[in-house]
Copies of this chain bind each other. A is one copy, B any other.
Amino acid sequence: MRIIGVDPGLNRTGYAVIEDRGGRWVAVEGGIARTDPEESLELRVLAIYRDIREVLEELRPEAMALEELHSNYEFPRTAILMGHARGAVCLAAAEFGITVTGYAPSRVKNAVTGSGGASKEQVQRAVVTQLGLASPPKPLDVTDAFALAVCHAMVARSPVARVK
């Protein structure tokens, strides 16, 4: 079983794939899909879509954990633009028949550290421990994508959570 975590953004979309090896989750790959801010919106959305498709094609995860966009952004315009990126990621998943589950950032933090208000560093340490990494994931900002994947792995493992 492979899970991909995706933290969507118009500038940078982080992704991370983890795999269940006999009951233990290990990191397979993490990376960032970047877009050129000078490009038009439609070409940037296309770039995200193509990058994520490529990852899905190569690594074939069975489930996707996607960061939920919260609706209390200070700049709603940013949230709407991020919605474009999230739409492109959803679309790529649907084309591969991958089920998408959305998780709010606080829920992810709570699942991996036990506290919904955990700091970036705490999340990082938790991801390193849970995936048995020798050092924090690189690039550093794929940590959130790994945390999303780990969160989904925990939910999928828990019979109580599965019922919800």
Contacts and interface: CB of A to CB of B under 8 A. Distances in A.
A86 B83 contact: yes
Secondary structure call for the A interface: helix
Interface string A67-80: 00101110111011
A94 interface: yes
A44 B90 CA distance: 9
A100 B46 contact: no
A91 B91 contact: yes
Interface residues of A, number: 33
A40 interface: yes
Interface in A78-129: 79-88, 90-91, 93-95, 98-100, 102
A41 interface: yes
Contacts of A49: 91
Interface in A39-66: 40-43, 45-46, 49
A64 to B, nearest CB: 8
A19 to B, nearest CB: 22
Contacts of A94: 40, 42-43, 45-46
A144 to B, nearest CB: 18
A135 B90 CA distance: 39
Contact of A83 (B72, B87, B98): B87
